[in-house]
């Protein structure tokens, strides 16, 4: 016991030499993995939507937040909404009456199908590049839809007009004459071109942040 107490003064200098960081252990600070990951630039409108919801501290669904940050989804949806809304205003300008049924109707100026498909193709080309395998898929889909609007659907609408005239002449007063076929189905080439131009401009607007950050 005497020898043990005699070693205490000898070991005391060594204890003073031990770094303070080893004697007083501090638990490591946790770093969020999301802070270490690089931030990706998305569509301008999607970034604006996310920033507004973040600043307002609103609780939204992660699924909705993901869609709002997707420039391709935002471009297609916005192009379709603008095209359908323009039909209502153009109809009011020409006929001086509001017809809200045109918001969900096919045909008319501009082509909402053409605007939607062109916006999707343009957004994919901007965000992923024309070399990506997704671009030719969107481009082919867009060409098929626009060809169908000018060809098959347009001629189906013309046939509906002829059938309505025949039924009105031959079956006048018959209950079948009261049920008219829908005539406004397809689009003229100018309507399809206007829709394609609208979709292109909307996609460029929504993807402006991605183009700047790329």
CA 113 to chain centre: 15
75 vs 63, higher pLDDT: 75
Q: What is the rounded distance in angstroms from the CA atom of residue 44 to the CA atom of residue 79?
A: 15
Domains of the chain, residue spans: 64-148+187-211
Q: What is the rounded distance in angstroms from the CA atom of residue 96 to the CA atom of residue 89?
A: 9
CA distance readout (Å), 207 to 23, 80, 118, 180, 193: 55, 16, 14, 43, 21
> 67, exposed or middle or buried, with CB in 10 Å at 0-12, 13-18, 19+?
middle
Band (pLDDT 50/70/90 cuts) for residue 118 is: very high
Q: What pLDDT, on the 0 to 100 scale, is given for residue 214?
A: 54
Could you tell me how many helices (H) and strands (E) the chain has, helices first?
Answer: 11, 0
The per-residue pLDDT for range 124-161, each reduced to its tens digit, is 999 988 999 999 999 999 999 998 888 777 777 777 77
Residue 157: count other Cβ atoms within 10 Å of its Cβ: 18
Q: pTM of the predicted model, to two decimals?
A: 0.63
Q: What pLDDT, on the 0 to 100 scale, is given for residue 169?
A: 75
């Amino acid at each position: 016991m005497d020898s043990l107490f005699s070693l205490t003064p000898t070991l005391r200098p060594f204890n003073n030499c031990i770094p303070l960081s080893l004697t007083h252990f501090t638990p490591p600070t946790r770093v969020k993995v999301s802070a270490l990951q690089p931030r990706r630039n998305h569509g301008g409108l999607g970034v604006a939507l996310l920033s507004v919801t973040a600043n307002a501290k609103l609780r939204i669904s992660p699924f909705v937040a993901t869609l709002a940050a997707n420039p391709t989804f935002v471009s297609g949806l916005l192009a379709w909404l603008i095209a359908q809304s323009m039909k209502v205003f153009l109809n009011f300008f020409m006929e001086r009456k509001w017809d809200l049924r045109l918001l969900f109707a096919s045909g008319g100026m501009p082509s909402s199908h053409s605007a939607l498909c062109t916006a999707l193709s343009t957004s994919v080309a901007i965000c992923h590049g024309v070399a990506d395998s997704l671009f030719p898929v969107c481009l082919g889909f867009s060409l098929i839809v626009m060809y169908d609007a000018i060809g098959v659907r347009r001629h189906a609408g013309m046939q509906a007009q002829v059938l309505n005239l025949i039924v009105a002449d031959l079956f006048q007063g018959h209950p079948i004459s009261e049920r008219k076929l829908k005539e406004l189905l397809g689009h003229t080439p100018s309507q399809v071109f206007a829709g394609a131009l609208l979709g292109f401009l909307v996609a460029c607007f929504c993807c402006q942040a991605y183009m700047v950050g790329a």
